[in-house]
Amino acid sequence: MRKLLSSSFAAMMYRQRPKQFREEPVSDLLRELPSEKYGNHPVQDYIAAFEGSEIRARRILDKGYESLVFDVVGDSVLKVTWLHLEPEFGKRPFDAPILHAGAIELGKRGLFIKRVNFFMQPKVEMRATDSDAASFGRTVDSLGYEFQDAGAHQLGYFESRLVLVDPFAVREKGTGHFWSADKIPYYNFG
């Protein structure tokens, strides 16, 4: 599955590009930053999960409680998380679309399967205001959801429409907090 550069010329050209313009394997970017930057994230598991992956990124854009966000080649961002991805994420009327999602299994512990989850979203314009966040909160409330991790930093504009970029920030009313014990299958039942 690993794909290596076939040309020494291509490798030389890659090394000569300024660092901010390089596209590197996600696992290499994760290795470069000190572990205290990652908080609760199981970074060593993320590195293992993306070792040999063909997904290349320019840099880590952000670190949230639920996911690390990478600026990947093209018009997308990659989000890597230890949380389970709900099937409705990206399909709710207020979500930024999810272009691709998946899980990488890293092994088993008894009945549990250890997984690193990821998804890709289109890049959005991160220019939402506090007023946008308040209006968004009222909208999702009217649809039967709670904006549990509210703030303009959770929102962006995609195709001129205000969208939620962090799908974990909004839950159906009455379903508990997005990181409640039943919603964190970092170790999932097989």
Please report the pLDDT score of residue 179 as a whole number.
47
Q: Which two tokens stand for residue 142?
A: 């009217």
The domain ranges of the chain are 13-124+176-189
Full-model pTM:
0.80
Predicted confidence at residue 35, as pLDDT, reads 67
> Measured in whole angstroms, how far is the alpha carbon of residue 18 from the centre of its chain?
25
pLDDT reported for residue 146? 95
- pLDDT of amino acid 73: 84
Round to whole Å and give the CA distance between 25 and 77. Answer: 14
78-91: b (≥16 Cβ within 10 Å) or e: bbbbbbbbbeebbe
What is the model's pLDDT at position 34? 73
Blockwise average pLDDT, block size 10, the chain, 190 residues:
34 46 88 76 92 93 91 93 93 98 89 90 97 98 95 97 96 71 44
| Amino acid at residue number 158 | F
Nearest to 123 by CA among 93, 87, 165: 165
